Amino acid sequence: MSYSDEFYTSLIGEIFDGYSVSAFEGRDVFVKHINIRDQKYINSYYEKYKNIALYKGIESQEEREAYIKQEDLWEESDDMKILSLTEEIKNLKKTKESVFLPSQQDSFQKTIEEKSVELYDLNKNKAEIVGLTAEGYGSKRSNDEMLRFCIFKDPDLTENLHTEDEFAELEVREVILLNTIMIDNSNRMSEDNIKHAVLRPFFSMYISNCENPSDFYGKPIVDLSAYQMKTAMYGKVFHSIFQYTEDIPDNIREDPDKLLAYSESQRNKDSNKGGIRDDADASAVFGATNEDMKTVAKDSKTVSLSEAAKEAGGKLDMKQMMRLAGHDV
């Protein structure tokens, strides 16, 4: 999904600042974008409360999983299905990144979304059957601490909105509201939004300076937020593509996924040419729609085999296909 220039300008501004502004019960609050040190603190908080839960006799995830299988509440085949779906989604995402035809990307994305829903439902069902675990208790406590730790009264991020004692006294309604603020901020700062923002025209004045994140932001890398690191990383990647990839179609220059796929296809083009003449009149693209053909090549003459087949009466013989692909026959 793509948003307005105003949205992306604001997004980059927040990333540069290191915080986002939200509203909580009639006042502005400031949500810190965490860095690696902050993440280490939250991880240690999780471990602390997981171990407390184990000490108090709450079973571990492993123990609960063994129990539900012993009681025939969950099958080994269900776990295999989860592993299989996880690997399948991973491979689908990887394959999607390697194709450059929009129709193929859309097809892969649709399958990824369908498989992701299936995986979510399986994991949700398993979690409900497993019930409370020490790991779950640790996650709940660390998630609550994340809410307290990341939300501040001031833009200098010097005073948390709540002390530990104050947070412990909050009503459920207030905790839910704080959690909504964090979720909304996380969705706003999604990787997809950051990639789109980096490709917007206003960021072009910064993109060539993303080579060294520490110099770019003027502070040590360990102090940079995850969002700042991602912004610099994608700035570096896309700047390299614009420098070393030829004939990038105008209609994909602001589409990160299509741009990445096109760059990959161009790197593979020479190795896949086979016996095609350098001066061939046209190249054939299998499975391309008319809309795809606008993306395949900017200046060269390209041919969709499906369209060529229609013009030839419904099918192409081998010689016709080879000529379309630029071979001497």
Query: Could you read off the pLDDT of 202-255 as tens digits, one per residue?
Result: 999 999 999 999 999 999 999 999 999 999 999 999 999 999 998 899 989 999
Q: In this structure, are residues 297 and 247 in contact, taking their beta carbons and an 8 Å threshold?
A: yes
Task: Count CB atoms within 10 A of the CB of residue 328.
Answer: 9
Tokens of 310: 């229609």
Mean pLDDT over residues 87-107, rounded?
85
Identify the CA nearest to 18 among candidates 111, 157, 127. 157
Q: In this structure, are residues 67 and 87 in contact, taking their beta carbons and an 8 Å threshold?
A: no
Q: In this structure, are residues 308 and 316 in contact, taking their beta carbons and an 8 Å threshold?
A: yes
Indicate whether this model's pTM tops 0.75: yes
Query: Which amino acid is present at 174?
Result: E
Identify the CA nearest to 203 among candidates 9, 14, 2, 19. 9
Q: In what order do the strands lie in the sheet with 19-24?
A: 19-24, 27-32, 151-152
Backbone φ and ψ of 16, nearest 5°: -60, -40
Q: What is the pLDDT of residues 55-89, one digit of tens each?
A: 999 999 999 999 999 999 999 999 999 999 999 99
Residue 293: band (very low, low, confident or very high) from pLDDT cuts 50, 70, 90: low
Tokens of 188: 């706003």
Whether 305 has a pLDDT exceeding 60, the answer reads: no
- State the pLDDT at residue 283: 52
Q: In this structure, are residues 226 and 281 in contact, taking their beta carbons and an 8 Å threshold?
A: no
Rounded Cα–Cα distance for residues 284 and 150 (Å): 54
